[in-house]
A = this chain, B = another copy of it.
Amino acid sequence: MSTNTANAANTNTVRSGKPSNEIFIGKKPLMTYVTATLVQLANEPTVVIKARGKSITRAVDVAQIIVKRMDTLGYKIGPIKLGSETVQSEDGRTRNVSTIEVPISRAR
């Protein structure tokens, strides 16, 4: 894991004032979020992967990559929370968008 991606993920989270154990899935490559989650898991017992709308599938992908491909590290998925938020589009109309929270923690 190159240190500058790790640092970027780390400082990026701290600078934006978010709790440091939350990872928001956006449009970056999948492995960026896998790396950021692993970096957080080095410091925090649990990291929560959050996503909404179309990114929900990518949040599940990140969780599966960490738990399945890196199963020697012994991470496990905690109770998953579903929810929905009201979002306002540019034309002022509001619509509901689904959200997911996937907690990942060290098993040991």
Contacts and interface: CB of A to CB of B under 8 A. Distances in A.
Q: For this complex, into which size category does the number of interface residues on chain A fall?
A: 10 to 19
A61 B60 CA distance: 15
B84 A64 contact: yes
Nearest to A69: B96
A54 interface: yes
Top 3 A-B residue pairs of the complex, sorted by shortest distance between their CB atoms: A80-B80, A60-B98, A56-B57
Interface of A: 53-54, 56-57, 60-61, 63-64, 68, 77, 79-80, 82-84, 96, 98, 100, 102
19 contacts: A53-B57, A54-B54, A54-B57, A56-B56, A56-B60, A57-B57, A60-B82, A60-B98, A60-B100, A61-B98, A64-B83, A64-B84, A64-B96, A64-B98, A68-B96, A79-B79, A79-B80, A80-B80, A80-B82
